Each structure stands twice: as C-alpha cells, then as structure tokens.
Amino acid sequence: MRKDINLPMAAVVNDIEALITEIDENPQISTWVIRLVLKSIKDKAQKMALDNSANITNLNQTSHLEVLSNSATMTPVTITSFR
C-alpha cells in the first residue's frame, strides 16, 4: 500500500483488502454479505469524509475567544471576592 495517502483513505483500503481476501478464501460467500460489507465500507468512508470536512472548516474559522482576547476595547477585570 502507498505510504503517502491519508489515514481515512488507508482505513477504507484496508477494509476493501480484507473483503477481497475473504472472497478469495471463501468463494461461496453470499452476495448479500458482500453487499452488506460494501455498504458498511461506503458508510464509513462517507462519515470520515464528513468528519474530515468539518475539521477543515473548524481550522479555517477564528475562534470567538481569540477575537475577544485581541479586542482593544476589553479591559482586564479583577475579581476581589466570591459570594
């Protein structure tokens, strides 16, 4: 397997390789089982793609706390007592 692909892609490739190995070792495996495994791999890949795109979106956004901490209008507050 190539070493320059990302980890989610590697996970999908590993699942497909495992399915191919199972088909080779067990040629009488039912088409229903093969379809079920392929659907599971597809769902896993879609979930990883959505998770990955959400992470990329989060990295591109500036956090609200960072914006507030850089604000020139904010002054430090000292807490002197608690109730």
Q: Which residue in this structure is represented by tokens 């497909």?
A: 16
Q: What token pair was written down for 19?
A: 């399915």
Taking the C-alpha atoms of residue 80 and residue 52, their distance in angstroms, rounded to an integer, is 44
Mean pLDDT rounded to a whole number for the chain? 75
Q: Tell me the backbone φ, ψ of residue 28, rounded to 5 degrees.
A: -85, 10
> Which DSSP state fits 46?
H
In this predicted structure, what is the pLDDT of residue 6? 76
Taking the C-alpha atoms of residue 68 and residue 2, their distance in angstroms, rounded to an integer, is 44
In this predicted structure, what is the pLDDT of residue 81? 57
Percent of the chain at pLDDT exceeding 90? 37
Taking the C-alpha atoms of residue 22 and residue 20, their distance in angstroms, rounded to an integer, is 5
3-state class (DSSP) for residue 10: helix
**pLDDT tens digits along 19-44:** 999 999 999 999 999 999 999 999 99
**pLDDT tens digits along 6-21:** 777 888 899 999 999 9
3-state class (DSSP) for residue 83: coil
